[in-house]
Amino acid sequence: MVDDEIIREWLAKAGEDFDFARINHEEQRTFYAQICFHFQQSAEKYLKAYIIAHQLTFRKVHDLSMLLNIIVEKDMAFEQVRDDCEFLATFYVETRYPVSWPTQFSQEETEKCYDSAKRIRSFVRERLQL
């Protein structure tokens, strides 16, 4: 059995990313790429909290689809958030480094990131019941 404190630490870190992005989004900051990145990071940490809690194969990756696939082997209900994971996955690398393709994101995309991260957050927290 995994120590609940470790899971709570992962959830706290995920919550920090979520709240940072949410507050900046609600204040209508125009740092859309950074806000979207932090929503992606929160989803990643929520998924990893679930993986750790259930002693599934932990991978040091940032690919939300890969993390979700690990979880789905145990809990098919997570298929409900697959579209959210796939959407948020696009905001990891593209927002961190200068690249040759467009990385200008809109308030609408940021809102969609918020909604996706919120659904993943709620789903994981409900399933962990902590």
Domain ranges for the chain: 4-128
Q: How many angstroms separate the CA atoms of 36 and 95, rounded?
A: 8
Q: What's the confidence (pLDDT) of residue 79? A: 98
pTM for this model (two decimals)? 0.92
Comparing 11 with 99, the larger pLDDT belongs to 11
- Structural contact between residues 64 and 85, judged by C-beta atoms closer than 8 angstroms: yes
Identify the architecture of domain 4-128 in CATH.
Answer: Up-down Bundle (1.20)
Q: What's the confidence (pLDDT) of residue 2? A: 85
Place of tokens 């709240």: 19
Per-residue model confidence as pLDDT tens digits over 12-51: 999 999 999 999 999 999 999 899 999 999 999 999 999 9
Q: How many Cα neighbours within 13 Å face the side chain of 43?
A: 34
Q: What's the confidence (pLDDT) of residue 130? A: 73
Comparing 95 with 74, the larger pLDDT belongs to 74
Q: How many Cα neighbours within 13 Å face the side chain of 112?
A: 15
Predicted confidence band at 100 (pLDDT cuts at 50, 70, 90)? Answer: low
Per-residue model confidence as pLDDT tens digits over 44-69: 999 999 999 999 999 898 999 999 99
Identify the CA nearest to 35 among candidates 22, 54, 16. 22
Per-residue model confidence as pLDDT tens digits over 105-120: 899 999 999 999 999 9
Q: How many angstroms separate the CA atoms of 53 and 68, rounded?
A: 14
